[in-house]
Amino acid sequence: MPIHSGARIFVESLLREKVEVVFGYPGGKVIPLYDELYDAPIRHILVRHEQGAAHAADGYARSTGKVGVCIATSGPGATNLVTGLATAYMDSVPVVAFTGQAPTSLIGTDSFQEIDIRGITLPITKHNYMVTNVKDLAKTIKEAFYIARTGRPGPVLVDLPVDVLKSHADFIYPKNVNLPGYQPTYEGNYMQIKMAAEAINTSQRPVIFAGGGVINSNASEQLTNMAIRGRIPVVTSLMGLGSFPEDHELSLKMLGMHGTMYANYAISEADLIIGVGVRFDDRVTGKLETFAPHAKVIHIDIDPAEINKNVKVHIPIVGNVKNVLDKLIPLIKTVEREEWLEQIKEWKKQYPLNYEFDDNSIKPQYLIEKLDELCDENTVIVTEVGQNQMWAAQYIHFSKPRSFITSGGLGTMGYGLPASVGAQVGNPHKTVINISGDGSFQMNLQELATISSNKLPVKIIILNNGTLGMVRQWQKLFFDERYSATILDNPDFVKLGEAYGIKSLRIEQTNDVEIALKEALNYNGPVLMDVIIPQDENVFPMVPEGASIKEMMDLKKTKREKEKQGEVA
């Protein structure tokens, strides 16, 4: 006896997966689904563009550790999810996306709003499905959530033809999944772990390189224990920020193109690198041939394909980071490495992050430092992509996992505002701050409406330099200051915020920064701050693309070069 429509089975399945909130945008092919959602105990956040739905689900997932869910209709609705899914895929974020589809009888006929979204998303999802029979629906949803959250997490898309949503079947939610081709390895090989421990205990200059995998597997505590127990300094990737407390003396903050000089020096001089849940991305390694030339590499990762992909690994351990570290920690001895730690201290003293403070114009680094002072541990920082992102990564002291939400692998401009929607919905009692640039902000600013109508108290800080800052920085440094297509003629962001009913203010004076930030943070509701910053402020240090990470340009050096050039002229 058929008892449920496909749409009803969809809702029941989501409830079994303990989904509390979905981000979506309705359309013709998902009306039956929305009709069921109308009465369901699931919160629906109506975004203003499907890309926003995908990013919001992603921000929700990163900040809560749960699976983020987004819904779009077929055709343009589905294709608008693509950038969001690709973003989640590159950073291993568990998201399940549901898309409407033309009825099965019309598939393949180029019918209205029909698109092969499964084909389109093949390379940017961990897995995807099209459900062609309502009897498979519950099982497919079960598998989709299971695949998204287990192993190396990632986005999964389920395409739902509208007739499947309308036809009926029994609702049987399977207890288990049966996927013979999907057997992630969770426990690391003990012999390998022992070898790793031995390599760590006998090394003179080890460095831990922690990435997003530490956060994904909730292993920050283990990571911290290991570092302290072994007295091993820690660098992180952009995705790993927050996995190790940055106020700890063993923290060297971020590595790579815009990492700290001391992190890059430490990696370059290390005799052992313990890569934990990282993928040795090119933004981190710089020129591969010169990356960590003296080091043996231990690599702990749940994805075997990451081993030896970019960097030659000497001791691979495939497994869940938390499980592996649990076994590894007891084998680690506290080794005195005073010389190494002294050297690192020296580098830290000699090459700190620095910028030139200015009374007259607001230095973005100064603003972020102030923000860091004013925020407590209960803060989630969400960024856009570009200079704003790098300044945030550099000048905020992250002490907790899931406190920094940013698009790393894909570098998606327009990510931050919708992601902060998701982060705020998932963390109603935390302060969610979107650090933004004027360029990125305008890529998804329609989500101001979502923030406003849902009364989400997100604090939006637009670092407004009237330009695509990071591209301009490259143009300045490597393209003879030919500023091709990087000047933005911006609208009045304060008026824009106000048009959406959001408290908005502009700050232009260094003196006003602290007062304005306090005002915004204390305000019970969303705030948009248009912060006018100098156009020529650049992110330092910097490793030029394709260079060795030891060859960092820093503020002092570039200034010196400028002076030298002046002398010559």
Partner 1 sequence: MRHILSVTVNNQPAVLARISGLFSRRNFNILSLNVGETELPEYSRMTIVVEGNTDTLEQVKKQLYKLIDVIKITELNQSNMIERDMAIVKVNCGKNQRGQVIQVVDVFRGKVVDFSLDTITIEITGDENKINAFIEIMRDFGIKEVVRTGLVAMDREMNNNVLTN
**Residue 186 near partner 1 by CB under 8 A:** no
The H or E element spanning position 71 is strand 68-72
Where do we find the tokens 């609208």?
491
Instruction: Show the binding pattern over residues 140-169: x = contacts partner 1 (CB under 8 A), - = does not.
Output: -------x----------------------
Helix extents (H) in 242-353: 261-269, 282-285, 321-328, 338-350
Q: Which region among 174-182, 343-351, 364-372, 447-455 touches partner 1 (by CB under 8 A)?
A: 174-182
The closest of 483, 522, 527, 523 to 505, measured between CA atoms, is 527
- For residue 130, the minimal CB distance to partner 1 (Å) is 8
> Rounded distance, CA 401 to CA 108, Å?
45
> Rounded distance, CA 38 to CA 263, Å?
52
> Rounded distance, CA 285 to CA 293, Å?
11
> Rounded distance, CA 148 to CA 212, Å?
16
**Residue 108 near partner 1 by CB under 8 A:** no
- For residue 18, the minimal CB distance to partner 1 (Å) is 23
In the 8-state DSSP scheme, what is residue 287?
S
Residue selected from 103, 245, 304, 501 as contacting partner 1 according to rule CB under 8 A? 304
**Residue 466 near partner 1 by CB under 8 A:** no
Within 13 Å, how many C-alpha atoms sit on residue 113's CB side?
Answer: 19
> Rounded distance, CA 114 to CA 388, Å?
38
Residue selected from 126, 142, 149, 327 as contacting partner 1 according to rule CB under 8 A? 126
Report the residue number, 107 or 341, with the smaller CB distance to partner 1.
107
**Residue 289 near partner 1 by CB under 8 A:** no
**Residue 135 near partner 1 by CB under 8 A:** no
Report the residue number, 184 or 501, with the smaller CB distance to partner 1.
184
Report the residue number, 181 or 546, with the smaller CB distance to partner 1.
181
Burial of residue 310 (CB within 10 Å: 0-12, 13-18, 19+) is middle
Residue selected from 123, 330, 546, 566 as contacting partner 1 according to rule CB under 8 A? 123
- ∠ Cα 334 336 340 (to 5°): 125
Query: Tell me, what amino acid is at 253?
Result: K
Angle in degrees, 0-180, between the axes of helices 137-149 and 6-16, rounded to the nearest 10: 30
Q: Which region among 232-240, 306-314, 381-389, 497-505 touches partner 1 (by CB under 8 A)?
A: 306-314
Residue selected from 105, 190, 293, 305 as contacting partner 1 according to rule CB under 8 A? 305
**Residue 127 near partner 1 by CB under 8 A:** yes
Report the residue number, 180 or 330, with the smaller CB distance to partner 1.
180
**Residue 122 near partner 1 by CB under 8 A:** yes
**Residue 182 near partner 1 by CB under 8 A:** yes
- For residue 181, the minimal CB distance to partner 1 (Å) is 5
**Residue 487 near partner 1 by CB under 8 A:** no
Residue selected from 20, 281, 303, 498 as contacting partner 1 according to rule CB under 8 A? 303
In the 8-state DSSP scheme, what is residue 286?
B
Within 13 Å, how many C-alpha atoms sit on residue 361's CB side?
Answer: 13
Binding site for partner 1 (CB under 8 A): 118-119, 122-123, 126-127, 130, 147, 179-182, 303-305, 307-309
